[in-house]
Each structure stands twice: as structure tokens, then as C-alpha cells.
Amino acid sequence: MHLELVDVLRCPRPHGESPLIASIDHLAGRCIQTGALGCPVCDARYAIEACAIVFEPGQRDVWQAAAPAPPASQECVLRAAALLGLADPGGIVLLGGAETNVAAALHEQADVSVILHNPPGVAAGWDAVTPVYAGVIPLGPGVLRGAILDHATATAIDHVVTALRAGGRLVAPASIPVPAGVRELARDDDAWVAEREAQAVAVPVTLQRGATGHSTG
């Protein structure tokens, strides 16, 4: 688990939002290889194993038993970078299910941190690439630069929208309805790409008292 994720991860349990606290057993560079994340609200603890975060052991067991996605071609990597709008380096992107096969090349090419949401097969984290096993996306609002989901991980699409920053890109299969909160930019027979809409922020208006008196000569 990359250290920068400590500040953006949240407990998936239904209570008030609060950042998690990391307990580190073994650190290699900026990657927590073993340890745990603790919730200060409900005292839940989530294991960090092989640089992966296990929010739900059942999800980990199911996905690790699945066949891994085939290696990604360079064309797939370039397409993913283009759809996510990764012209500039930096930020965090999320790849779901079978889409996680572009993670290593995407990290190297675009210099982004990558969250692997429920990667199929046995996956260990490294450098700035972190597997996360969970039913939902346990992230704070506005922390993702972009995300690509497959059919299996699109059930968490509403959580992904919340986690996207304004202008962040979301890519999903063409058969998945475009959720509220994003604006569709393009689609083909396989997928659509959308952009997170900026949320309106109420600006306080200062009320000025009008003049009630008038001068006398």
C-alpha cells in the first residue's frame, strides 16, 4: 500500500467519515508491505498484506481464485491513458477488475499512483500500485483523477463518481448506464467516457443595509 493512500482512504462501514490510521509492520520505500489500517470511529481494523489492503477477506478470496487478466498490449495502455486524459503526470487513478492489467505500464508511462480494485488472480502491490479488496470504493470525495471499471466492478460506480475530482474521467462498459454526476464525452460499441461535473458551491452573499436617513440642509 502506497503511503499517500492513508489520507484518502475511508472506513467502508456506515458512520461519519473519518480518515484511517495506519499501523506499519514492514515498510519498503513508500510502500507499506504489512500492517493494518484502523478506524478511529468504529475501531475496525483492515489488514495490509503483500502491499494490498483487505477491507473484505471474502472479496479477496473470490478475486484471487479468478483467472488473471491477460497481459495488456501497448495499444490498450495508450488507449487507457488517452481516455483518462493523462497528458500530465501525478494524481491517483483507479482500475477495476480486468482493467487492472494496464496498471504497471500506465504507472510507468503517466507517473500516476494506481489503485487496483478487486484485481483477478493473485496480485501483490508495489511502488505506487496498490490492490484493494472491497465491495465498495472506500475513498474520500474528490481524490481520484480518473477511473476505469469493468462489468464486475461497475456495481461500485456511484462510489467512484463521488471519489472523482471535478473534471476527472470515468470509463465504463457501454452497457452500463451513465450515472448522475458525470457528463458523457464519447462512446463506442465497447465503452463510454465521462467527466465529473463541478459541484455548485454556495457563495455567501453579504447583505448591505440601505441608507434609511437623509441629510437636511
Q: Which CATH number characterizes residue 42's domain?
A: 3.40.50
Domain assignment present for residue 171? The answer is yes
- Strand runs labelled E in 39-81: 45-49, 52-54
Rounded (5°) CA angle 173-177-183: 95
Round to whole Å and give the CA distance between 122 and 41.
31
Question: Is the pLDDT confidence value at 89 over 80?
Answer: yes
pLDDT of residue 212: 47
Number of domains forming the structure of the chain: 1
Of 36-45, 56-65, 185-194, 204-213, which range is least confident?
Answer: 204-213
Domain assignment present for residue 208? The answer is no
Handedness of CA 57, 101, 92, 6 (dihedral sign): positive
Domain assignment present for residue 209? The answer is no
The pLDDT tens digits for 16-53 are 888 899 999 999 888 899 999 999 999 999 999 999 99
Range of the domain at 44: 3-196
Domain assignment present for residue 28? The answer is yes
Q: What is the pTM of this model?
A: 0.87
Cell of 168: 476527472
What percentage of the chain reaches a pLDDT higher than 90? Answer: 72
The pLDDT tens digits for 146-201 are 999 999 999 999 999 999 999 999 999 999 999 999 999 999 999 999 999 986 44
Domain assignment present for residue 212? The answer is no
pLDDT of residue 215: 44
Collect contacts of 123-129 with beta carbons under 8 A, ≥24 apart: 123/52, 123/64, 123/68, 124/50, 124/51, 124/52, 125/1, 125/2, 125/31, 125/50, 125/51, 125/52, 126/31, 126/51, 127/2, 127/29, 127/31, 128/2, 128/4, 128/30, 128/31, 129/2, 129/103, 129/104
Domain assignment present for residue 105? The answer is yes
pLDDT of residue 202: 46
Domain assignment present for residue 89? The answer is yes
Question: Is the pLDDT confidence value at 84 over 90?
Answer: yes
Domain assignment present for residue 177? The answer is yes
Pairing relationship of beta strands 92-96 and 113-117 according to DSSP bridges: parallel
Round to whole Å and give the CA distance between 129 and 141.
20
